[in-house]
Amino acid sequence: MNSKLLKLILILLVVLPFSGQAQTNDYSMRRCWGYHKDSCKVSKNIYYRVVEGSRSALFVKGQTSRISTTIYNGRDYRISFCHDQVLGSEIVMRIIDAENGNTLYDNTEDGFSSDFEFTVTQTREIYIEISVPGKSRYSEAAEDADLVFVRKDTEMGCIGILIEHMITPVKGF
């Protein structure tokens, strides 16, 4: 057996028993699955309802990922995110028009705010894009055959995206 295959088998034997566990350092919660339900703060406005398209995922430093959702005319939305502190304080959230690629909102122009509320005037398909700054040895692993371990406590953490909506209130008297 060649050494690369032996290393791969050894890694699988070590990692597979733990694959259903350990996605975050807080073992009292469901880890990253459902993180948005456990960790993100819902709006204090009682009329907002959580959209089923809300999601959670494990991220590594330096990673960018996006989800797609539809926003509907005649509704107000609140999109927020929460994250493990190991990922830093400057998580970037962008809302992008899926049809033309225009950035509709960028939290770097809003002090890295973790929430944004808006009214929709036209039904649109959008992307919610999350970018975590920094570098991770995880991205180096694909290039470095000798790299075996990536520390979860310093380079990986959970991010939850919470999408809430309500019927747009009537304006004026």
Q: Are 168 and 123 in contact (CB under 8 A)?
A: no
What does the domain layout of the chain look like in residue ranges? 24-167
pTM over cut 0.85: no
Strand segments, DSSP code E, in 108-154 are 115-119, 124-131
Strand ranges in the chain using DSSP code E only, listed in sequence order: 49-50, 55-60, 64-71, 75-83, 92-97, 103-106, 115-119, 124-131, 156-167
Q: Is 66 helix (H, G, I), strand (E, B) or coil?
A: strand
pLDDT per residue rounded down to tens, the chain (173 residues): 566 655 555 555 555 444 444 444 454 445 788 899 888 999 999 999 999 999 999 998 889 999 999 999 999 999 999 999 989 999 999 999 999 999 999 999 999 999 999 999 999 999 999 999 988 776 666 566 666 666 666 788 999 999 999 999 988 88
Fold of the CATH domain 24-167: Jelly Rolls (2.60.120)
